[in-house]
Amino acid sequence: MLSPNQIRAGIRAKFVLPYISIRQQAGLALASPSSMVRLNKRCEKHQIDHLLAEQLSDKQLVASLFPNLEHDSKKRQINLPYIVEERIQSKSKRKSLTVLYLEYQVEDPVTAMSYSQFCRKVQKALKRCKLSMKQLHAAGESVFIDYAGTRVYYNLEGEKIWVKVFVALLGASQKIFSFATPGETTADWIEAMRQMFIYYGGVTDVVVMDNAKALVSHPGLIPTFVENINSFAEHYKCLLDSCRVGHPQDKSLVELAVKFVTQRILIPMNKDRDFFSLQEVNLHLMNQVEMLNNLNFQGLNFSRNDLFNKNEKPLLKPLPSTDFDLIIDKKLQQVSPEYTVEHKKHQYSVPFSIVGEVVEVYITLTHLRVVHLHQLVAEHALVDEPLGATMLIEHMHPDHRADLESNDMQKNMGWAAASGAHIGELVALWYSKVSNPYSRSIGKRCRALMNISTKNGIRVLDDACGYGLRQGMTSVSDIELIVRAQGEQDGIQNLPAYIASHENVRGRGYYGDHHEA
């Protein structure tokens, strides 16, 4: 049968160049002379010229010249709307083509078309119903993530350790990332996504994932994600989205990337290479994925990396300045009167203003965070010190802060050194006997020295401290006694001095208890 283009070319040649021969007309239409003879007869019979042929669509033109082509009065037509409606249902509910054909045939076997003809008509109708919407992904907008079904392994002391392979794909440039993890737990997903953003050198606006239980607690139009995944999104300042339940085509790009990575990398890894650690597996994955990203697209002269560097990389948001810390525990606590919360018998301070309030305590691998009314009010590095306490000065009540600062070794030693050499030496001697830089006992002694200084003057106190150090009188009461005595004796120089015995001094006994001075 002639194609619509051949028919139009033949009709145009017949009416525009009426003087040419049938053979010449066939040459212009790229058809046989006999076909042109039959075409000319049909044009005369149905009164179709070149002007009308140009106005008709292909289907109308063929129907006008061959009106009985599709007509088959001997075969009963099928109920296409009913069959299409059955076939587009889910697999568990729809009928097979065989059952549908038997239903059609049993009505009248004599007028029923054959099974193959029935299937062709149904498949043609179904193709018209299967429409796909073209998804346009702006640069820097979306990254799609998934795990490959094919696992890889490494050898550990003769045992095969199987691991899962995470795959990500940027929507615009289609740059691929792959990373192996021990499993598909929430921690594994988060570590893989963390490495993904490091590899891309920035953060996309949206992360699109499936409805894995490690990610989504309640699927739906607006899904509810597990707490650690929400915290990850808040830390990286990106949105989370998931595909519809049972519709993996919503992330078809990463599905194709998984297939690509599986065929090009994972299957050859299991057949041709031996690995002896998870780090070796990931190093090989990184190298192979980078090779894929450098390959030109089929039929094009640019690669995924070319598109990424030109269009997408500049639009990615910067990585956060701090790394994400996985939440391993969460609990509600009431703030104690000492404005602290407890974890593993260690106390951590919170602002004094929320004493008695119930707060959320988040425990990560390295930190403890306290949230009150959806605001972060305290953060501490974890300390493995049962019965100990970590107190921040900014959390303390002003009176308590002043009391603590009065016991500060650095502050007290700074005052002593600035006041006088002997005062500094005495205070340093006191602090050398304790390990706590905020010793309350030493702080009280320093405040006593400050009171003496205020009452009697710095010079008197420094002289008294010098005298006390020489005579072994280093307590506060000794210093007070020395200050009082020097006032009565008109100066430190008039106080009695103890001279220690020395092996080079012969003494009175050497002279038989009698000698002349």
* Segment 221-240, tens digit of pLDDT: 888 888 889 989 999 999 99
Would you state the pLDDT for residue 401? 82
Q: Predicted confidence band at 92 (pLDDT cuts at 50, 70, 90)? A: confident
Query: pLDDT exceeding 90 applies to what percent of the chain?
Result: 29
What is the arithmetic mean of pLDDT over 316-331? Answer: 86
3-state secondary structure of 360: strand
pLDDT of 515 over the 60 cut: no
The identity of residue 405, as a single letter, is E
Nearest Cα residue to 100 out of 120, 122, 117: 122
Would you state the pLDDT for residue 517? 44
Question: How many angstroms separate the CA atoms of 440 and 504, rounded?
Answer: 44
Residues 65, 46 contacting (CB under 8 angstroms) = yes
Would you state the pLDDT for residue 46? 85
- pTM score above 0.85: no
**pLDDT tens digits for 466-479?**
888 888 888 889 88
Q: Predicted confidence band at 363 (pLDDT cuts at 50, 70, 90)? A: confident
Q: Predicted confidence band at 129 (pLDDT cuts at 50, 70, 90)? A: low
Average pLDDT, the chain: 86
**pLDDT tens digits for 241-292?**
888 777 777 778 888 889 999 999 999 998 888 899 999 999 999 999 999 9
Who has greater pLDDT, 151 or 508? 151
> Looking at residue 317, what DSSP letter applies?
B
How many helices, marked H, and strands, marked E, lie in the chain?
Answer: 20, 15
Judged on CB neighbours under 10 Å (0-12, 13-18, 19+), 408 is middle
pLDDT of 500 over the 60 cut: no
Would you state the pLDDT for residue 207? 92
Give the residue ranges of DSSP H helices in 17-67: 22-29, 33-46, 50-55, 58-65
**pLDDT tens digits for 398-437?**
888 888 778 888 888 998 899 889 889 999 999 898 888 8
Nearest Cα residue to 368 out of 392, 352, 396, 402: 392
